Amino acid sequence: MLAKDLTDETILPAKTSDLATLALAWMDEYKVSHLPIVNGDNYLGLISENDIYSANSFDDPLGNHNIALNNPAVFENQHIFEVIKLVCDLNISLVPVISNKNNYLGVITLKKIIDEIKKMTALDSPGAILVLEINNNDYSLSEIAQIVESNDTKIISLYITSHNDSTKMDVTIKLNRMDVNALLQTFNRYNYNVTSIIAESEMDDDLQDRFDSLMKYLSI
């Protein structure tokens, strides 16, 4: 999934001539704490509500305000993983998307990112989730896939979480079925350490509820 496929054009950018009070009103309307600033089609930077409050010049145009962030943005052909990394590194509420010529195309909101993560992790698809703890040097995707498929099961989502200051990793697997008793026995025979099992009913009551609560929070 590329940035250009996630772009939201309904959040309008600010201009350098717009007053700070207007930018704050837009932030409140869009439920964000940042706004891109443009000059025509050219992307100039990302101003935050903290930048505006720090300046304490609410009736001045945005062009007179200092911007703390150094023009954060992603190019239209960058992958969603790079978008997520930028959000996490800078703690921003939206990500401007630009063309290779620095032309402003729109923004990617946190809600859109979370919607895509939901699709990527197959949260809506029925099936159990297993978490395997594996030594980094022992990780073999082909072996894990062979074990799963030998039990007439498919992997529909997989991601890895590294442990800080450790040689181990967690491999989280979303499967296409809930009955995984035979699969667990096979993992045990191959000396895999299954640290967590989440059944479909638990996901319905827990993960889905958490996701829905997060989406409601972002929509406030």
Segment holding 118, helix H or strand E: helix 110-120
Residue 56 has pLDDT above 90, yes or no: no
Give the end of a domain, one of 96, 117, 138: 117
**Residues 68, 155 within the same domain:** no
**Residues 85, 163 within the same domain:** no
Quick one: pLDDT at residue 208? 54
**How many angstroms separate the CA atoms of 15 and 54, rounded?**
19
Cβ proximity of 98 and 76 under 8 Å: yes
Residue 200 has pLDDT above 60, yes or no: no
Quick one: pLDDT at residue 66? 80
Cβ proximity of 76 and 3 under 8 Å: yes
CATH number at residue 10: 3.10.580.10
**Residues 24, 87 within the same domain:** yes
Q: Using one digit for the tens of pLDDT, what is the confidence trace for 98-117?
A: 998 889 999 999 989 998 98
**How many angstroms separate the CA atoms of 126 and 145, rounded?**
19
Characterize the bridge pairing of strands 14-15 and 34-39.
parallel
Average pLDDT over residues 3-29: 93
Residue 203 has pLDDT above 50, yes or no: no
pTM: predicted TM-score of the whole model, two decimal places: 0.75
**Residues 15, 67 within the same domain:** yes
Quick one: pLDDT at residue 213? 60
Which amino acid is located at 106 in the chain? G
- Residue ranges making up the domain that contains 126: 122-210
Average pLDDT over residues 42-69: 87
